[in-house]
Amino acid sequence: MATGLAEPGLAEPGLAVTGLAEPGSGGTGPAALSGGDLARRATADPLFRLVAYALEAAHGRPPAAVWSAPYTFHLGSPGLVAAAGWPVAAAAAPRTDGMVRLSSLAHPADGCDLPLTLSGPPPATPAWAARPYALLRALARAGYGRGGTDLHVQGSLTQAAGLATEEAADCAVALAVADVHTPPGEDPDRALLARLMEEALPDGDDALRRGALFARPGRALLLGHRPAGPEPRRHRQRYVAFDPAGSGSRLVLLALRPDPDGTQDRTAELARAVGCARRAGALSAWPPGQRPGRSVLVLLPEARLTAVRAAVAEDFRNRGLPVPRFLNITVAGPARREA
């Protein structure tokens, strides 16, 4: 990143190493309730009601399971990730005819019905469906969903927000599909699913996926590797306290809006926004992913939030540019079963 973006380390406010992660951690939510009634459950989160209804509307049957997985982000230090309180939801229902039917409200004209093949070249798919189809094949080879699946996926943020969207969707899909082939009351094997996703989708960010699977509220996940041996590589996980609210701070996502003429230099504009934020009292800023994007995470004292927002807004407004978005980030828990 350009000059002016500081990377937080373990010495940042609110960070302290704690104990080992439990590979199966993360509640299953209201596991006793079926996915079929979620769309009509007035007390349910609107996103989860919507994804359940959308699967039923697109495929003519209610979901057997609905899972959510949080968007995740890096904290600047290698292997240190956390989850945000914004989810991706996936609804799934098993089939027995060897077909997969994929849909998403983000791609309403690009739903597809595909034969589930375990090997060989994949069938032609809409661009958005290639990734979930590759994951469904890997899950089927591992024994999850060989008869096929109806699947609907929907996120609460778009790519314009700047957080990685694919890894959260990977986790929501894997858990929803695995869940309908896991004994009732048992959480799917998250460690196994993490390995399957790493093998099936090697272009993804494995640290972000593991964050979505194993996160804890007010904690970051510190990932490492156990020494190599005859067995496949195993991950070592520890939690690191990261609770901005608990230390009187605020974590916000500063995301650029596209400029009207499309000539915006994102790297330069993000660096300028961070400079404004720092002069107004921000403590640090860093990119949420491994690749340069359209957003940065900003850690600042609670008392300086209004001043920071005003300083950034004034700078962009005075130059005739769209004012960046500010999204409050809650350090959240892991993927969970919603119905």
Question: Percent of the chain beyond pLDDT 70?
Answer: 86
CB of 278 closer than 8 Å to CB of 285: yes
Q: Which residue has the higher pLDDT, 184 or 328?
A: 328
Q: What pLDDT is recorded for position 217? A: 97
The arithmetic mean of pLDDT across residues 119-131, rounded, is 95
As a whole number of angstroms, the distance between CA 51 and CA 317 comes to 37
As a whole number of angstroms, the distance between CA 296 and CA 163 comes to 9
pLDDT at 10 over 60: no
Q: Which residue has the higher pLDDT, 14 or 227?
A: 227
Which tokens go with 52?
């359940």
Question: Percent of the chain beyond pLDDT 90?
Answer: 72
Torsion, Cα 194 196 202 203, to 10 degrees, reads: -60
Closest to 27 measured CA to CA, from 338, 339, 336: 336
The band of 24, judged by pLDDT with boundaries at 50, 70 and 90, is very low
As a whole number of angstroms, the distance between CA 253 and CA 289 comes to 12
- pLDDT tens track for 207-263: 999 999 999 999 999 998 555 555 555 668 899 999 999 999 999 999 999 887 777
The arithmetic mean of pLDDT across residues 306-323, rounded, is 96
pLDDT at 35 over 70: no
Which residues sit opposite 87 in a β-bridge? 70
Which tokens go with 60?
């003519």
Q: What is the mean pLDDT of the chain?
A: 87
As a whole number of angstroms, the distance between CA 208 and CA 82 comes to 8
- pLDDT tens track for 152-179: 999 999 888 889 999 999 999 999 999 9
Q: What pLDDT is recorded for position 96? A: 95
Q: What pLDDT is recorded for position 254? A: 97
Range from 76-90, 148-162, 187-201, 284-298 carrying the lowest mean pLDDT: 284-298
CB of 298 closer than 8 Å to CB of 286: no
Q: What pLDDT is recorded for position 76? A: 83
Q: What pLDDT is recorded for position 2? A: 36
CB of 300 closer than 8 Å to CB of 6: no
